[in-house]
Chains A and B, each alone.
Chain A
Amino acid sequence: MEKENRFKLFMPPRLSAGQVSAGRSQGFNRCSDDDFKLPFDVWSRGEITDSDTISQQVKLCSEVDEENPETMNELFSKLYKEAEKIKQWKLTVETELNQKERKLQENRKIIEAQNKAIQELQFENGKLHLKLEDEICENKDLLKEAAASRHLCNLLKETYTRFTEKTSKYEQEKEATIQLYEELHSNVERMTVAFEELCVQAENDRLEMSFKLKEEAEKVDKFEKECRLEVSQKEKQIPALTIQRDEKDDVIKDIKAQLQTSQNKIADLMEAKLHNEEMLKESQVSKEHLRVELEEAKISLQKAEVAQKNLETEFQTTVKTLIQVTGEKEEQEEECKKMKALLAALTEEFETSVANLKSLLQEEQNRLKKSEDDSKLLTLELQNKSAELEEMTKVKCDKEVQLEELSETLKEFHGLKAQLTSTAEKEQDYLKQLVTLKTDLEQEALKNEQLTVYLSKLSLEKEQTAQEKNAVAAELKKLQEQQEDSKKKEDNTKQLVENLEEANSQLRNELESLKEKMAKTGEEMKSTLDEREENMNNLKKQVENKTKCMEELQQENKVLKKKITTESKKSNTYEGKVNKLQLEMENINKQHKEEVDIYKKDIETRKVNENKLREEVEKMRLLCDETAMIQRETDARCQHKITEMVALMEKHKNEYDKLVEEKDAELKVYKMKQQKQISSERALENELSCLKKELSSLKEQLKAEMEEKENFVKEHSGSMIPESEKKHKTYVIKTPPRDKMQSGRSTNLPAEQSSRKKQKVLVQLDTQSDSSEHTDLLSIVSEEEMFKNLYKDYPQASQLHSTAPKKSPAPCSVKSPGSALKLKTMRRMREAGWTALSKMDRKRKIKDAVKLFA
């Protein structure tokens, strides 16, 4: 229990440990000596804080337990003291408890307030949390926005950079475009300047071209005139020149005949030459044979020499026999001498023949020289003749120049060309002939040269033969010497006589053969010489003939040369002129082509224009056709309308005539009535005057009565007055027109009736009529004013109008303001108007149509 109380007591000191501990310490200090130690111990044990006191209390308790008997009294005293202490302590504790309770309450209140505050703070914290969350969200949002803005900023930066780049590019391009613009502008300006310059140049060029064309045209005209004059002049000269040409043609023909003869002669000469060549060949062959024979003779002579040498050797052995043989040798020597003489004679003869041949050669050379001289002379003559021919050709040239001048004319150009071609051909033929003649001449010259060559060769051969003969003579001399030697050696060579005899015999034989051969050769030589002589004679003759022919040929050559020169000159001149003419023709052709091209271009442009114009013409034709059709249609319509109108007019006229007749009758009746009415009117006028007077009096009475009535009405009622007044007014109003009507009806009734009838008639006509225009007119024709207004445009109608109203007022004034005159005037006006309308309408329509198609 005490422990429990101890434990229970232990509770409160926790709360207020500090306060209690002080009190308890005091209590311990006080109650240490009390009896109630256990409770004090207990109470002291309650003091948690004072562990020392607790230990002291324990010690006290322990001491107390030991000291029970002794100290019971002390304890009781102590207990009393402690009890008192305890009481005091209780009181204090109670006060403290109360205080503490108060404090606790206060603390509780405070706690509550603090709790409230805490709750409020918690609320606030919650709110703040919310706000913070909101703010956090907002911050997050802001961060997001910031991030987005950062992104945007980055994008903007990027775009900025791109934009800057693009702007830089644009600026570059701008600059480039500006430069291009400037360049283009400058180029365009240059182009404009160039175009203007081109215009100016073109104008200047055209002016120049025009001037040039004019000048050239003038020149051409002048040239044409000059050419014409020259043509005329040369036409005059043509016949004479033709005569001369004919003469020359005859001459040419003669020359041709001569050429033909010369050609024949040349052919003959050629044949003779051939024969001579053959003969020469034969002579050459014979010469060759002679040469061969001479060589054989040489060989034989050599052989003889060999044999002689042998004989010499044999002579030495046969000296003895030489004596016997000397005589024979002498004889032989004599014979040899004879032979020598013969040989000498032969040599002499050969020499003479050679001399003769030489002389002949010389003669022939002389003759050749003569022939040459003759040929030279002939050439000179040919030259002279060529000069003459040249002169002739010059004359011909002059004449042909004239002819060429003629040929320059356009008309005879082709003829002259043909003539020129023919002459050229003739000239070419001549040239060919000349060439042939030249060739013939050359050939003949060649042949002559060949002949000379042959002759020279012959001479050379003769010289050679002479030389050979000389050589032979020399050899013979040598033989003689040898024979002399042999004579000297005869003594030594008698032994060889037999051999020598044999040899001599052989030699004799050989000699005989040789003699024979020599004779033969001599004969042959003679024959050959004879033949040569003959040939030479023939050659001479031929040379003579040839010279003659040469002369003739040279003459002909000269003539032909002259002709050739002349004709060559002619041909040259012709060619030159032909070339000139060709150039001129080419130029003219070019000009013509250019002009043709220009004309073609013009033609094309004109064709284009023509086509355009044709198209336009066709269009216009179509339009014309259409307009014609329209015209026709309009005319037809007009005619239809006119016919209709005419029909209507006729109808109306018929009707009007009928009406006129009726109205005439009515007029007569009305006239009668008028007359009656006039008489009645007079009477009525009298009555009217009386009646007027009565009416005036009545009026005065009525007025007085009206005034009285009005007064009565005003007195009775105010509403009845106006009706009465009105009635009176109406009554009053009605009266005058009735009076007037009564007065005027007698006179105007027929007019009004007629007018009304007119109106009625008009209305009937209006309903019945089909035409449009005239109906209106009909409706309006009832009055003169309307007629005037209508017929202002029609002068004819105005005349009628002028005439009509003149007539109208006269009869009207005479008779009466009745309807008969009006009817008549109206009839006339209408008729005039109809006619005028018909005429003017047609005229107007025709004018309109004319204007449309004009």
Chain B
Amino acid sequence: MAESESQEGNDYNRGRMVENIKTDMEELLEEMEKLTVRAAWMAYSYTAIQSNADLSNAMQHSEDAFLMCKEQMEKKWQEVLLESRREREKKE
């Protein structure tokens, strides 16, 4: 009888445990689902950020502008100097 009672109690506890586990698992499932959703959104956002070519394009534009500036600086200074020299030579 005691064993049966203990068994019954264990069964009851087991039932409670199972129910608790079920509820917990359900909750965890829900939470995990939420987490997966979050993770998916995070991954999407990361891919969106990484795939955002604005920075790269802007950097390229800036590099191009910088290179253009350099070229212009080098060329036109040299041209100015050459012109000045030519003029001096002509005048001389």
Contact = CB atoms under 8 A, between A and B. Distances in A.
A198 B69 contact: yes
A203 interface: yes
Interface string B53-92: 0110011011001101100110011111101100110010
Contacts of A177: 49
A217 B10 contact: no
Contact of A170 (B42, B55, B59, B91): B42
A337 interface: no
Given A164-B35, A178-B49, A210 B80 contact: yes
Contact of B62 (A156, A170, A191, A203): A191
Interface string A603-640: 00100000000000000000000000000000000000
A213 B80 contact: yes
A209 B81 CA distance: 10
A51 interface: no
A163 B35 contact: yes
Contacts of A167: 35, 38-39, 42
Interface string A638-679: 000000000000000000000000000000000000000000
A181 B14 contact: no
Contacts of A598: 81
A221 interface: yes
Interface string B1-37: 0000000001100100110010011001001100100
A192 B58 contact: yes
A731 interface: no
Contact of A160 (B31, B54, B77): B31
A806 interface: no
Interface string A149-162: 11001001100100
Given A160-B35, A174-B42, A139 B14 contact: yes
Interface stretch (A182-190, A297-305, A414-422): A182-190
B52 interface: yes
B24 to A, nearest CB: 5
B42 A188 contact: no
A194 to B, nearest CB: 8
Contacts of B68: 195, 199
A185 B83 CA distance: 40
A178 B69 CA distance: 30
A185 to B, nearest CB: 6
A246 interface: no
Interface in A806-827: none
B1 to A, nearest CB: 15
Question: Max chain B CB contacts within 10 Å: which of A146, A163, A188?
Answer: A188
Nearest to A211: B80
Given A156-B28, A217-B91, A192 B38 contact: no
Nearest to A196: B65
Contact of A146 (B17, B46, B52, B88): B17
A474 B81 CA distance: 107
B65 A192 contact: yes
Contacts, number: 102
The interface centre, meaning the residue of A150, A174, A195, A217 with most chain B CB atoms within 10 A of its CB, is: A195
A153 B28 contact: yes
Contacts of A291: none
B19 to A, nearest CB: 11
Contact of B72 (A146, A163, A185, A199): A199
Given A143-B14, A160-B31, A191-B62, A602 B55 contact: no
Contact of A195 (B10, B18, B69, B79): B69
Interface in A178-237: 178, 181, 184-185, 188-189, 191-192, 195-196, 198-199, 202-203, 206, 209-210, 213-214, 217, 221
Contacts of B76: 202-203, 206
B34 to A, nearest CB: 9
Dominant secondary structure of chain A at its interface with chain B: helix
Contact of B52 (A181, A188, A202, A217): A181
Contacts of B11: 139
Nearest to B31: A160
A44 to B, nearest CB: 46
Nearest to A164: B35
Interface residues of A, number: 41
Contacts of A170: 42
Contact of B58 (A164, A189, A203): A189
Interface in A123-167: 139, 142-143, 146, 149-150, 153, 156-157, 160, 163-164, 167
Contacts of A203: 72, 76
Contacts of A156: 28, 32
Nearest to B91: A221
A181 B39 contact: no
B18 to A, nearest CB: 7
Contacts of B79: 206
Nearest to A171: B42
Given A146-B14, A202-B73, A188 B39 contact: no
Contacts of B14: 139, 142-143, 146
Contacts of A195: 62, 65-66, 68-69
Contacts of A188: 55, 58-59, 61-62
Contacts of A198: 69
Contact of A153 (B24, B58, B61, B87): B24
A527 B59 CA distance: 117
A163 B18 CA distance: 26
A628 B58 CA distance: 51
B35 A146 contact: no
A139 B28 contact: no
Nearest to A208: B80
B27 to A, nearest CB: 9
Contacts of B77: 206
Contacts of B87: 213-214, 217
Contacts of A150: 17, 21, 24
Contacts of B54: 181, 185
A209 B17 CA distance: 90
Contacts of B91: 217, 221
Given A170-B42, A202-B69, A217 B84 contact: yes
A395 B54 CA distance: 80
B2 to A, nearest CB: 15
B80 A146 contact: no
A191 B42 CA distance: 31
Nearest to A190: B62
B66 to A, nearest CB: 5
Contacts of B72: 199, 202-203
A202 B70 CA distance: 10
A192 B61 contact: yes
A192 B62 contact: yes
Contact of B25 (A149, A214, A221): A149
B17 to A, nearest CB: 5
Contacts of B69: 195, 198-199, 202
A338 B46 CA distance: 148
A167 B41 CA distance: 11
B48 to A, nearest CB: 10
Contacts of A605: 78
A188 to B, nearest CB: 4
Interface in A688-723: none
Given A199-B65, A199-B69, A602-B81, A160 B32 contact: yes
8 contacts: A146-B17, A156-B28, A167-B38, A174-B46, A196-B65, A202-B73, A210-B83, A214-B84
**Shortest 3 CB-CB contacts between residues of A and residues of B:** A195-B65, A188-B58, A206-B76
Given A160-B31, A160-B35, A598-B81, 6 more contacts: A153-B21, A181-B54, A188-B58, A188-B59, A199-B68, A199-B69
Interface of A: 139, 142-143, 146, 149-150, 153, 156-157, 160, 163-164, 167, 170-171, 174, 177-178, 181, 184-185, 188-189, 191-192, 195-196, 198-199, 202-203, 206, 209-210, 213-214, 217, 221, 598, 602, 605
